[in-house]
């Protein structure tokens, strides 16, 4: 009995140590007032950003695109969003949602030329000509939960979605256009995540928090998801 008692005591002490430590680490990660990390050593605050947008389906997609359309077409400088400021845009959709993929492509075809045209009209010729349209990609991940899916199988589908989200958060790399040729090829974590729906969006945000929690590839120094936005 003595060895079992010792084992239980050690296990209890371990849990009492790990749980508060993990909770403290989590509060640091989630604290909105924390110091924002530098991206790949870049110190120029006006440098283009890697943006990630999560599109749900149906109403969630319509809401997100309506919000972005208002931002890129707004005449108010305080609300205006210049699409070319985001050097790479990652659109995330759920498997089987071809409509959201088409809507994202339509938005890109509208927003990028609009930003260039407005720069020219404002006399910002250098910005209009020096900064290209950037790049974008549409990435499909497994659904966290299918419609009418039984709760018993949700952990399995949720895990598959989590793994896919972790991969997409770490797949994009820097390029020499960022002005840091020596750092080309390093992981370019998203700086900003925009989402407005449950399920897949929740899993993706959870994946980003886990990467920061465990300081994946030193991302606390590189700036994974410096901000999270919710529409």
pLDDT tens-digit map of 7-43: 888 888 888 888 888 787 778 777 776 665 555 445 5
- pLDDT reported for residue 15: 83
CA atoms of 9 and 36, how far apart (whole Å):
40
Q: For the ranges 112-121, 150-159, 176-185, which has the lowest average pLDDT?
A: 176-185
Residue 222's pLDDT band, with cuts at 50, 70 and 90, is very low
* Judgement on whether residues 19 and 92 belong to the same structural domain of the protein: no
CA atoms of 162 and 154, how far apart (whole Å):
12
DSSP assignment of 80-106, as one string? ---GGG-SEEEEEEETT-HHHHHHHHH
pLDDT tens-digit map of 54-72: 998 778 899 999 999 998 8
- For residues 189 and 154, is the Cβ–Cβ distance under 8 A? no
Looking at the domain assignment, is residue 108 inside a domain? yes
CA atoms of 103 and 65, how far apart (whole Å):
8
Looking at the domain assignment, is residue 39 inside a domain? no
Distance of CA 93 to the CA centre of its chain: 13
Taking residues 125-137, report their average pLDDT: 61
Looking at the domain assignment, is residue 20 inside a domain? yes
- pLDDT reported for residue 8: 84
What is the value of pTM for the model shown?
Answer: 0.75
Q: For the ranges 66-70, 119-123, 148-152, 212-216, which has the lowest average pLDDT?
A: 119-123
* Judgement on whether residues 27 and 58 belong to the same structural domain of the protein: no
Check pLDDT > 80 for residue 187: no
* Judgement on whether residues 89 and 148 belong to the same structural domain of the protein: yes
φ, ψ (nearest 5 deg) of residue 38: -80, 145
- pLDDT reported for residue 107: 93
- pLDDT reported for residue 116: 57
Count the helix, strand and coil residues of the chain and give each as a percent rounded to the nearest 5.
Answer: 55, 15, 30
Do the strands 135-141 and 227-230 form a parallel or antiparallel pair, or are they unpaired?
unpaired
* Judgement on whether residues 102 and 213 belong to the same structural domain of the protein: yes
Length of the chain: 231
Check pLDDT > 50 for residue 90: yes
* Judgement on whether residues 86 and 183 belong to the same structural domain of the protein: yes
């Amino acid at each position: 009995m003595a060895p079992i008692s010792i084992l239980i005591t050690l296990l209890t002490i371990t849990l009492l140590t790990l749980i508060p430590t993990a909770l403290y680490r989590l509060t640091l990660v989630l604290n909105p007032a924390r110091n924002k990390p530098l991206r790949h050593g870049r110190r120029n605050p006006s440098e283009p950003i890697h943006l990630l947008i999560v599109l749900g389906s149906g109403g969630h997609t319509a809401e997100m695109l309506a919000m972005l359309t208002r931002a890129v077409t707004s005449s108010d400088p305080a609300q205006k969003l210049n699409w070319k400021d985001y050097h790479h845009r990652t659109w995330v959709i759920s498997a089987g949602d071809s409509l959201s993929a088409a809507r994202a492509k339509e938005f890109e075809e509208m927003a990028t030329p609009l930003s260039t045209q407005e720069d020219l009209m404002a006399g910002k010729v250098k910005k209009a000509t020096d900064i290209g349209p950037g790049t974008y990609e549409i990435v499909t991940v497994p659904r966290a939960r299918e419609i009418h899916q039984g709760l018993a199988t949700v952990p399995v589908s949720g895990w598959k979605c989590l793994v896919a989200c972790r991969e997409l958060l770490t797949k994009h790399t820097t390029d020499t256009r960022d002005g840091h040729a020596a750092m080309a090829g390093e992981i370019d974590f998203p700086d900003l995540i925009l989402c407005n729906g449950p399920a897949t969006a929740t899993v993706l945000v959870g994946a980003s928090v886990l990467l920061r929690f465990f300081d994946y590839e030193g991302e606390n120094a590189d700036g994974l998801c410096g901000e999270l936005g919710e529409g």
